[in-house]
Amino acid sequence: MALTPSETEAVASETAETNSPRRVGRVVLLLAALVVVALIAVGAFAAGRLSTLDNPTPSANSAEAGFARDMQVHHIQGVEMAMIVRDLTDDPAVRLLAYDIATTQGQQAGQLYGWLTEWQLSQLGSEPSMTWMTRPGRSDTGHEHASTHVAGAPMPGLATDAQMAELKAASGVDAERIFLTLMIAHHKGAIEMAQAVLDRADNTSVLGFANAVMLSQTSEIKLMQDMLAERA
């Protein structure tokens, strides 16, 4: 995800002001990781768009439709958490990570919304959230069994109202710790949802999207775990 000129200038300025080699090294690592993630996501999206002509339109209660609805909600909270922490910290590495999460997940939420519109399906659906995850997977994936997730239960990794309030009330390093802890759990939940749709969907655009989510968020989890360890 490319930074705007103003964001690039701000990050460069903040990095130059710190004398910590650890922080400088972390910012460089973040930039490299974000480039790789962006390339993976763009490639997966392009491959999916090229194959849409061969895909049947998903039904209203399909895994594809359920995933598109629920992952939108999941991503929107991710954007909210990222924007909150950007206002609560001056750390350039955390701010850069938050900016990437906000822009990437915001774009992906819009993409999911667009698919439902293209498929002429409701954005809300007629079933409780996560119902699609309770149904058995495809026989060719080796995951024919239904998920243990309960229809209508909170999505995996979704932060509670109390956790969001705790984040908003924090500042500085405390806010960074809370954010990283919540976002690691949030990413793990998104990976669980992506794996579930890989086991249940046939639409190649959705499969490419889910693979990109798994690759990018797995990489970011490792990065955030390292950042959290530095703030222990």
* Amino acid 51: pLDDT: 45
Q: Give 121-173 pLDDT, tens digit per residue.
A: 999 999 999 999 998 887 555 555 556 678 888 899 999 999 999 999 999 99
- SS3 of the chain: the string is CCCCHHHHHHHHHHHHHCCCHHHHHHHHHHHHHHHHHHHHHHHHHHHHHHCHHHCCCCCCCCHHHHHHHHHHHHHHHHHHHHHHHHCCCCCHHHHHHHHHHHHHHHHHHHHHHHHHHHCCCCCCCCCCCCHHHHCCCCCCCCCCCCCCCCCCCCCCCCCCHHHHHHHHHCCHHHHHHHHHHHHHHHHHHHHHHHHHHHCCCCCHHHHHHHHHHHHHHHHHHHHHHHHHHHCC
Amino acid at 145: H
Position 26 pLDDT exceeds 70: no
Q: Which domain holds residue 77?
A: 5-230
* Amino acid 42: pLDDT: 46
195, 156 Cβ separation under 8 angstroms: no
Indicate the number of domains in the chain.
Answer: 1
Position 12 pLDDT exceeds 90: no
Taking the C-alpha atoms of residue 17 and residue 62, their distance in angstroms, rounded to an integer, is 51
Assigned token pair, 3:
């930074």
pTM of the model as a whole: 0.77
* Amino acid 24: pLDDT: 42
- The CATH number of whichever domain residue 9 belongs to comes to 1.20.1260.10
Q: Give 52-108 pLDDT, tens digit per residue.
A: 556 889 999 999 999 999 999 999 999 999 999 999 999 999 999 999 999 999 999
Assigned token pair, 216:
């990018």
Assigned token pair, 156:
């995996």
